[in-house]
Each structure stands twice: as C-alpha cells, then as structure tokens.
Structure 1
C-alpha cells in the first residue's frame, strides 16, 4: 500500500516548518535585494565587487531581517494568542526562550558580519548595522502600534539599502548622491506599505488607506530618476509599477456592499500588502542605473 500524503495537522507540527514560519522566510529575499541595490549604487559599472564583502553584507542583512521577524513574534506573542493562535509561539511549537535565543544570535551575527565585510573591520558597516538593529528593536518593541511605527519600518528599509552601499567603505559616500536618495525613496514606499498593511488584523478608514496609497506612490515617484533607461525604449516606459499601486486603489474604492464582508476584506488587504512587499525585489532590480547627471557628481 502507498503511504498517504501528510495531513495539514502533520505539516503544521513539523519543527522545521515552525521555524520557517517564525522568521517568515519568503520575505527575506526583499532584504537581500536591498543589499544588491545598495552595492550597485556605489560600485562603478566597470569595477568588480568583492565576493567576500558582498557575501558578508548579504549575511548581515539576512541576519538582521530574520532577527526582526523573530522579535516581532516575541513582542506580539500575547496579541497573537488571541488573533493568530496558530503562530509558532502561541501554539507552543516553539518556546519563548528558543525564539529569543535565535533572535539574539541572528542580530549579533548580522552586526558582526557587517562590521567585518570590508577587511578586518568596517566602521561604516558597523555603524549602519547597529543603527538598523536599533530601529528593528524599536519598531518591534515600542513603536509598532504607534503613529511612528510605519516611519520606523521605512527607516529600517532605508538603512538596509545603505548597508549595501557600505561596500564602498566610506560613510561620506552614503550621504551624497544616489545612495541616500534611493534609500529615502524606498523608505517612503515601505512606510506607505506598512501603513496600508495595518488593516491586516483590523480595519482602516477610507482616508487612512488613501493616505497610505498616496505615500506609496510618492515613494515610487522619487525613484523614477534612478530607474533603468534602455536606449531602445521610451523614457515613459521605464516603470511598470501599476500592479502594485492598482491593488490598493481598488481596495479604497470598494463598493459599500463589499465592505460588509470584513473577513474577506481583511484577507484581501493582507494579500495586497504581501504583494506590495514582495514587489520590492522587482523595484530594486530596476534601480542600479542612475541617470547620466548622477554618474558624474559635481566637485
């Protein structure tokens, strides 16, 4: 007789699956895309990126990002016990002490990797990684439910892009030209996405969702000068962000009868929030080519 396929209960009891759910593994690739973007903003096109430095920065970003996911669940464990009892911590599949240990190891490892990416020590990498770690903990433990929560999340994304730009080894290089501009634009975008995503476990007014969508589009607009401009395509065809921004707009303009189905609306809003977040990989991929005037900054 053939072995029957595992049931959903058996799958949910898998220790490996529990850890993957705790760190929200699929979204870590958005953080890695930020690092690749940051490096391309400071490394000349004809230069070769150090595989060791790039690898350590990717490890640093992944460690800090996954640590943030772990501490997010640590700080939210009491609320999750009511709203998301199936999460690894409230369901008991992972103990609190194990989660804290994992988050601490990931965060320390991320900072150390960033500090050693450029030879034996990297002052720029260390400072940016420490700032990112502070922002992560501040968001998870203090600011998440406050009006500053989305801003803190946007700051985390901006610092992650700047972490990739530390491959140049200079703090001064981060404060001028493309790195700071692009990091700020992506930070604004993620601020809007986070604001929009607050409807995942609750409800938002039409005005709040409209403001979030406006902020998302402002963030995208600031990135237009840095998008790829291929010679055989018109300049107006460089951006293809309509799938990301059309979703929230349709959510805001839902008919009154649709909004009565709160459960369906919540799921739809959550799915769109994940699409907006995962689309960041594609946005990052369009940005490593600054405009001609940005390639030769004034003396």
Structure 2
C-alpha cells in the first residue's frame, strides 16, 4: 500500500459513494426533478450546478469525517487493527489530521456555493461527525443517534437545493438516522463479536425503516409503485446477512452484515428517489451500487 493509497483508504471511498446517493435522494425530494422525467428536464447549469456543488460537499464531509475517526482511534487501532494505515505507519496522525481538516472545510465551502442554508447544514454535519469521532461512538445510546444524524443531515443537504423543501420535508431525514443507528449498533461487534440484544434491536430498526419508506406514499408527490421494486431489493440486501450473524455472533459475520448495510444505503436511497422522481431516476441512483461495490474490493468500508 503506497502512502497515497493509505490516505485514500482512510477516506473509505466506497462509503463516499453511498453519501453521494444521499445527496441525489435529497435532490429528488427537493422537487428539482418532480414535474417531468429527469431526462426531459432542461439540464442547464441552473439545474446541475447545485447538485454538483452538493456532491462535492458530501465528498469532503464524509471523507473528512472518517479520516478523523482513525485519528481519534489511532492508539486503539494499534492494538485491535494494526493493519490500518496509521498504526501500520503508512499514514501519520499529523498528516491525517491535515487531510481531514481540509476535506471538512472544503465540504462546507462547496455547500456555500449553493446557499447559506446548505453551508449551515454542511457545517452541522461536520461538527456532528467530529463529535461522533471524539466522544459519540463511546456512548451506547447517543452514539448510534449521533452517527445517524450525520446521514440525516447529509440527506437534508441534498434537499437544500430548494431551501423550502427542507422546511416542508425535514422528517424524511429520520429514516437514514434510524437506519444508520441500526448499522452502528451492529458494527460494535466487529472486533469481539456481536451482542444478541443489539442485533435483535437492529432487526426491529430495519423493519421500522422499511415502514418509514412505505409511509412516504402518503405524500402526494411520492409514487409508491415506482419505489416498490427498489424497496424489495433493499430488504434482500439488509436482512439475510444480519440474520445469519445473529445465531453465531461471530465478528466475521458481523463485518459482513455491516458491509451489506453500508452498501445497501444506495438501494435505500434509490427506493425513495424513485418514489419522488420516477423509477428511471431511482435506477440512476442504483447504478452507484456497482461503483461502490467495486471500490469496496480495493478499500475497506469499516
């Protein structure tokens, strides 16, 4: 692993693709693509520019957040994960801190190009990520909620392309908050094995996420029949790995369940995006999955 490769690994590039899916989902919910199929929209700079800036923003925010996760965990990783870039010596704490800070600052500045609200949301996501890296992940209850809030804020960031949409549809952010909280609960068993109560709780939370997406059909701008195929695929992604891990609680199976849950974020976003902007747009979001899966073969997602 080269030095550049080590810093890229710290950023978890496969996971960054899932963050882009959050932005695309929020962009669809904002109404930017609501009136017509997305390929019929006049794709001027006025339409595409805010999406581009918000995608750049989430790359910086997510990349910076996970880099700081390894910075704060450097000493622990020397014992539990010596193969990670910092304990292996391929990256330094100082270098990782500088890279993480630049990424977070770049994420906020990119969002500022869209609106002041976008910048405020980006700053909130950055601060929530740092809070999780520093203290949040050590709390059994607040940690999962803290991590989930980062994803919820990221979805709102995509929605901020139309600021009024954030005020109207803010509650949609509760879905990724709940989902990421579930994954965070599962991930705590990666090293020493899972807690059966936590794994059962994650199953319940997954079910509530599915129910939350189905409930979006109550919105006049959401078409459930477009969402349904993606939603079934989402369920297929998340439940089997978790159910296989529950009887044994083995770390290897827990890692597989976490990896499946992270990659399935794209499918979850596709299911909601399809309901707001048509199955074609949902398919476009879903196409991020093979990209993320391919990158995940080269770089760890946990």
User: Structure 2 length as normaliser, TM-score?
Assistant: 0.80
Does the 8 Å CA contact 1:34/1:284 hold for their aligned counterparts?
A: yes
Residue 196 (structure 1) shift: 0.8
Aligned-residue offset at 1:27: 1.0
1:222 partnered with 2:212: yes
Measure how far apart 1:267 and its partner are.
1.1
Query: Is the Cα contact below 8 Å between 1:209 and 1:248 reproduced in 2?
Result: yes
Query: Counterpart in 1 of 2:273?
Result: 288
1:239 match: secondary structure: helix
Aligned to 2:298: none
* Partner Cα distance (2:225, 2:262) in 1: 26
Give the match for residue 144 of structure 1: 137
Rg larger for: 1
Of 89, 102, 122 in structure 2, the residue corresponding to residue 129 of structure 1 is 122
Structure 1 unaligned residues grouped into runs of 5+? 1-11, 260-264, 293-299
Q: 1:175 aligns with which of 159, 167, 177?
A: 167
Q: Which runs of 5+ in 2 are unaligned?
A: 218-222, 278-302
Matches within 5 A, 1:1-299: 12=1, 14-42=2-30, 43=32, 44-46=34-36, 48=42, 50-117=47-114, 122-147=115-140, 148-168=142-162, 170=163, 172-177=164-169, 180-226=170-216, 229-230=224-225, 239-240=232-233, 241-252=235-246, 254=247, 258=248, 265-290=250-275
Cα root mean square deviation, aligned: 2.2
- Which whole-Å CA distance do the structure 2 matches of 1:59 and 1:247 have between them? 32
Deviations along 1:247-275, one digit per CA (max 9) or x if unpaired, are: 212322x2xxx56xxxxx10111111011
What TM-score, normalized by structure 1, do the two folds share? 0.81
The 8 Å contact of residues 229 and 238 in structure 1, kept in 2 or not, is answered as: no
Distance 2:62 2:25 in 1: 16
Tell me which stretches of 4 or more aligned residues in structure 1 moved more than 6 Å: none
What are the Cα deviations for residues 113-139 of structure 1, in whole angstroms up to 9, with x where unaligned? Answer: 00112xxxx121011111111100000
| Deviation of the 1:79 alpha carbon | 0.2
Q: Would the aligned equivalents of 2:241 and 2:256 in 1 still touch at CA under 8 Å?
A: no
Count how many residue pairs are aligned between Structure 1 and Structure 2: 261
CA distance in 2, matches of 1:210, 1:238: 21
Q: Which has the higher contact order (CA 8 A, sep 6+)?
A: 2
Range with bigger deviation, 48-57 or 83-92: 48-57
